[in-house]
Amino acid sequence: MTGPRLPPAGPPARQLPERRQSRRNGARQLLHLFEHSASGLLTCDAQGRIVLCSPVAARLLGTEPGTLCGQPLAGWLDPLAASGADAARLFEPGQCETMAHRANGSSFPVELTVSHTRLDGVPQSILILRDITDRRLTQEQLSYLANFDSLTGLPNRTLFRDRLAQAMARARRSRKPMALMLLDLDKFKLINDSLGHEVGDQVLRQVAEMLKGCLRGGDSLARGGGEAPFTVSRLGGDEFTVIAEQLASPEDAALIARRIIEALERPIHLLDHERHVSTSIGISMYPADDTDLDGLIRHTDMAMYRAKAMGRGTYSFFSAELSAELAARLQLENELRQAVERQEFVLHYQPKANLRSGEVVGVEALIRWQPPGRGLVPPDRFISALEDSGMILPVGAWAIRTACAELAAWDRAGLPPLTLAVNLSARQFGQPFLAGFIRDALAEAGISPQRLELELTERLLMEDSGATRGVLGALAAMGVRVAMDDFGTGYSSLSYLKRFDIDTLKIDRSFVSELASDPEDQAIATAIVAMGHSLNMKIVAEGVETEAQAQFLEALGCDEIQGYLLSRPMASAAFVEWMRARQAAERTYGAAPDSDSHPMTLMTMQTLDG
Ligand code: C2E
Ligand code: MG
Ligand code: MG
């Protein structure tokens, strides 16, 4: 048996032309690819000479394929080894970016893909060329945006950090100290708020120009020459930095800071305004102050804050004491943050009495901090930290709400209808909703607005922003009273007493303490009482400790007194007890102005008893 027969193989004579045909087609395709590929194609021999060149490659290089063939690749592409070297050593296989040179001498960036092969045993390199001019441009634009501030054209925070790291490295190598300066414009927010952001932007642009200008001519300070000794950057907002290199000593840095301060003192011309700006500068030295980049920036920041605190328009160097001071401050702020969370604050109340009748008419709420396991902390130790950190807003709101609720509880307990004074920080007046908040707190407690008095300091009114006036107006419309606290210690300008609706003046303790003996204090107290009364204000003397002081004040016609003579501030429960004891004593001894016992005697007695 024979198996099934396979069909006979086709005749070889027919196969050959088909294969040839398809090979020919393939070759045409390859040629087409070679000629029309968007990338330029080149091959070169082991000597680095161009063997084959596609029309696109020739066009990219600004010439004809015929011109290129046989030429050394070295003349057309970077990076290039010594001429005549092995092509395999000119470029590593793989992809790289390099520069190509046109026949006319101009250059452009290319992406190069290289592979090494053998053709009939002869080594050969294949190169694919792509013009990446557009991509580079986009990259450069992106990198500009990532590294430069679009408003001023100065390096931004990112580039600043790079430049600082480089400057630190140079300072290490050259052993010449370097200064980092942090500039913060004084009251820039005011310009922005009052004249608008566009004007603010103009100011920033001009400040950037002034900074560059005043440092440009300053190379005389640079000892080494060579590299540019100054780098100006803008960190954002109104914060600029200057890196000053190759200094001989910190005095050089001080000289530069003074030059900057003077330069910025010149008026800035805006569309229709002329403005003066000033700047505060913090300085730290590398490597003396810190060897770490972030540490150096932090120290410069501390120094800048001190310059601000020193009164603006000035500079300050970082110092170790400053660091200790700031560390303590930070620690305090952290503790206070916890205190806010854990509600560790309490209010004490100090009574005020009518000087003629001796009757207790009101109280002032005074805050204290009760950290667990420690004694009560007085407000002078923490109020400014609360203000700086913004925590005064929740704490101040708590104080108002708590004091109102306490007053309502005293009413229910049968105490006479007292008035309540609460201290407010300037910071709280920045809140547009303050008046609304106070209205709600009063309504919640069921207290009439006329019984609340807010104690403000002179600083608040001196800064006189439109917002302050708005809030004061809204409070006055509600019937809430306003007292000027610590009167006489600030600028005591009559104009703002008139401009703002002030109901009460509180003569500062410092004028009261020597009142019985110091003629100058007597003159001041006399003037305050007379002036206040002529403006229809009530006068309260604070810090009254002796009967002699009280009698002097009474003779002047002062309305109320507050102080240790009457009582120290007390916790709420103690205050209620104190009031009850006092009411009982009044019933026993009588306290009418015409009785034998002078009201002051009653006050003293109560203090001794209580
Ligand atoms: P202030 O409003 O001027 O309060 C009067 C300060 O004088 C109180 O100090 C009070 O205890 C003290 N004092 C009262 N009578 C006498 C006296 O006869 N002799 C002496 N030597 N001192 C007397 P305190 O409680 O330490 O408060 C200090 C300051 O802290 C207050 O001054 C006020 O400006 C601020 N403060 C207190 N509570 C608050 C608050 O809730 N919010 C805000 N923003 N500030 C507050
Ligand atoms: Mg007060
Ligand atoms: Mg006071």
pLDDT of residue 322: 76
Q: Which residue's alpha carbon is nearest to atom 10 within ligand 1?
A: 569
CB of 367 within 6 A of ligand 1: the answer is yes
Distance 422 CA to ligand 2 centre (A): 7
- If one compares 91 and 452, the residue with the highest pLDDT of the two is 452
Report phi then psi at 479, rounded to 5.
Answer: 100, 5
Q: What is the mean pLDDT of the chain?
A: 87
Tell me the pLDDT tens digit for each residue of 526-562. Answer: 999 999 999 999 999 999 999 999 999 999 999 999 9
- If one compares 209 and 276, the residue with the highest pLDDT of the two is 209
Report the candidate in 341, 356, 355, 451 with the shortest Cα–Cα distance to residue 403: 451
pLDDT of residue 74: 81
Whether residue 4 has pLDDT greater than 60? no
CB of 376 within 6 A of ligand 1: the answer is no
- DSSP string of 552-581? HHHHHT--EEESTTT---EEHHHHHHHHHH
Distance 547 CA to ligand 2 centre (A): 22
Whether residue 499 has pLDDT greater than 80? no
CB of 426 within 6 A of ligand 1: the answer is no
pLDDT confidence bin for 595, thresholds 50/70/90:
very low
Tell me the pLDDT tens digit for each residue of 26-52. Answer: 888 888 888 888 899 999 998 889 999
- Kindly tell me the number of DSSP H helices and DSSP E strands found in the chain: 22, 21
Distance 584 CA to ligand 2 centre (A): 29
CB of 351 within 6 A of ligand 1: the answer is no
Q: Which residue's alpha carbon is nearest to atom 23 within ligand 1?
A: 543
Tokens of 132: 């990446």
Report the candidate in 124, 123, 113 with the shortest Cα–Cα distance to residue 39: 113
User: Which of 350, 388, 423 best tests ligand 1's pocket when mutated (most atoms within 8 Å of CB)?
Assistant: 423
CB of 485 within 6 A of ligand 1: the answer is yes
pLDDT of residue 326: 73
pLDDT of residue 449: 98
CB of 379 within 6 A of ligand 1: the answer is yes
CB of 378 within 6 A of ligand 1: the answer is yes
Whether residue 225 has pLDDT greater than 50? no
Alpha-carbon dihedral of residues 374, 379, 383, 386, nearest 10 degrees? 30
Distance 366 CA to ligand 1 centre (A): 6
Tell me the pLDDT tens digit for each residue of 73-100. Answer: 888 988 644 334 444 456 778 888 889 9
CB of 65 within 6 A of ligand 1: the answer is no
| Mean local confidence (pLDDT), 279-297 | 93
CB of 383 within 6 A of ligand 1: the answer is yes
Whether residue 1 has pLDDT greater than 50? no
Tokens of 362: 């009101």
Whether residue 359 has pLDDT greater than 90? yes
Buried-state track 383-421, b at ≥16 Cβ within 10 A, e below 16: bebbbebebbbebbbebbbbbbebbbebbeeebeebbbb
Beta strands at 504-507 and 538-541: parallel, antiparallel or unpaired: parallel
pLDDT of residue 596: 44
The Cα angle at residue 267 between residues 263 and 270, in degrees rounded to 5: 125
pLDDT of residue 360: 97
Most confident of 23-27, 186-190, 222-226, 514-518: 514-518
Please answer whether residues 423 and 485 qualify as being in contact, where contact means their C-beta atoms are separated by less than 8 angstroms: yes
pLDDT confidence bin for 18, thresholds 50/70/90:
confident
Tell me the pLDDT tens digit for each residue of 487-498. Answer: 888 766 677 777
Distance 364 CA to ligand 2 centre (A): 7
Whether residue 300 has pLDDT greater than 70? yes
pLDDT confidence bin for 457, thresholds 50/70/90:
confident
Q: Please report the atom of ligand 1 found closest to the CA of residue 455.
A: 2
Q: Which helix (H) or strand (E) holds 416?
A: none
Identify which ligand lies nearest to the alpha carbon of 459: 1
Least confident among 134-138, 221-225, 341-345, 376-380: 221-225
Q: How far apart are CA 113 and CA 172, in angstroms?
A: 41
Tell me the pLDDT tens digit for each residue of 171-219. Answer: 999 999 999 999 999 888 888 877 888 889 999 999 999 999 988 765 4
- DSSP string of 36-99? H-SSEEEEEETTSBEEEE-HHHHHHTTS-HHHHTTSBGGGTBSS--STT--HHHHS-SEEEEEE
Most confident of 14-28, 166-180, 273-287: 166-180
pLDDT of residue 565: 97
Q: In what order do the strands lie in the sheet with 94-101?
A: 50-53, 40-45, 122-131, 107-119, 94-101
Tell me the pLDDT tens digit for each residue of 249-274. Answer: 888 999 999 999 999 988 888 777 77
CB of 425 within 6 A of ligand 1: the answer is yes
pLDDT of residue 14: 58
User: Above pLDDT 70, what percent of the chain?
Assistant: 88
Distance 320 CA to ligand 2 centre (A): 36
Most confident of 10-14, 18-22, 269-273, 547-551: 547-551
CB of 131 within 6 A of ligand 1: the answer is no
Least confident among 20-24, 81-85, 152-156, 376-380: 81-85
Least confident among 12-26, 376-390, 417-431: 12-26
Q: How far apart are CA 75 and CA 82, in angstroms?
A: 11
Which residues lie at CB < 5 A from ion ligand 2?
423, 455, 485
Q: Which residue's alpha carbon is nearest to atom 45 within ligand 1?
A: 423
